[in-house]
Amino acid sequence: NAGVTQTPKFQVLKTGQSMTLQCAQDMNHNSMYWYRQDPGMGLRLIYYSASEGTTDKGEVPNGYNVSRLNKREFSLRLESAAPSQTSVYFCASIWTASNQPQHFGDGTRLSIL
Amino acid sequence: DQQVKQNSPSLSVQEGRISILNCDYTNSMFDYFLWYKKYPAEGPTFLISISSIKDKNEDGRFTVFLNKSAKHLSLHIVPSQPGDSAVYFCAASGVQAGSYQLTFGKGTKLSVIP
């Protein structure tokens, strides 16, 4: 019963390198989300996909791109990593964008030197 | 501008006593509120929620209270147990930019002392 799976769990990058964070869910959910969490901060929405084939910007989209590859998978790409993007990244999913709880993965801890 | 505020970064409580975690919000369009619990190196897990049409929701040891006029909600844990030690995030849901989105507070780290 995997739920939401994120890979990798940890990654260290150098400034300017690119990286794709992967997220997959096995709950047949339509909506998927990417958040970042910084020390002393709550989770902030980067991008979301309300349904397969659609993506939209959240609160902090600059420096990121996303791809909703299919219903199961939603990836987050850093084209040219910057130290300010050092963070823990969480993927979440929900049956459909509504007033219901989102289900979260265990996160990817990303450090950019 | 923070729309969801958790003003206490940390809280320590003795085992067996009540833990009260507080949350304030500013956006009147929020109509559903959630509490998530997060252990280190894990993702947030849903704990309990409340709709804006209610003022109380109870689930075992956990009760959430909502005061709409004050734009305030609180989570009560009774009795508190050492396993409850975690970071608790308050979140509010509503339609933003045409889709439902969650807005999170900064979290309160609860430590339950045996």
Residue A97: pLDDT over 90 = no
> Average pLDDT in the B19-44 region?
95
- A1 pLDDT band, cuts 50/70/90, is low
Q: Which pLDDT score, from 0 to 100, does residue B95 have?
A: 81
Q: Which pLDDT score, from 0 to 100, does residue B34 have?
A: 96
Q: How many CB contacts within 8 angstroms connect chain A with chain B?
A: 54
Three-state DSSP string of B44-96: CEEEEEEECCCCEEEECCEEEEEECCCCEEEEEECCCCHHHCEEEEEEEEEEE
DSSP-derived 3-state class of residue B18: coil
Choose, out of A32, A46, A99, A109, the residue to mutate when testing the contact with B (most B CBs < 10 Å): A99
Per-residue pLDDT of A35-74, as tens digits, reads 999 988 889 999 999 999 899 999 999 999 999 989 999 9
Q: Which pLDDT score, from 0 to 100, does residue B100 have?
A: 84
Choose, out of B32, B106, B108, the residue to mutate when testing the contact with A (most A CBs < 10 Å): B106
Q: Which pLDDT score, from 0 to 100, does residue B18 have?
A: 98
* Closest Cα in chain B to A40: B106
Q: Which pLDDT score, from 0 to 100, does residue A40 have?
A: 84
Half-sphere exposure of A23 (CA within 13 A, CB side): 31
* Per-residue tokens: B90: 């308050």
Per-residue pLDDT of B52-71, as tens digits, reads 999 999 999 999 999 999 99
- Residue A77 Cα, gap to closest chain B Cα (Å): 20
pLDDT above 90: percentage of residues in chain B: 89
Interchain CB distance below 8 Å, A40 and B97:
no
Q: Which residues of chain A have a CB within 8 Å of the CB of B107?
A: 42
- Could you tell me if B104 and A41 are in contact, meaning their C-beta atoms sit under 8 angstroms apart? no
Residue B1: pLDDT over 90 = no
Q: Which residues of chain B have a CB within 8 Å of the CB of A2?
A: none
- The torsion angles phi and psi of A84, rounded to 5 degrees, stand at -65, -10
Residue B75: pLDDT over 90 = yes
- A87 pLDDT band, cuts 50/70/90, is very high
Residue B97: pLDDT over 80 = no
Q: pLDDT averaged over chain B? A: 95
- Could you tell me if B21 and B91 are in contact, meaning their C-beta atoms sit under 8 angstroms apart? no
Find the CB nearest A105 among B6, B34, B43.
B43
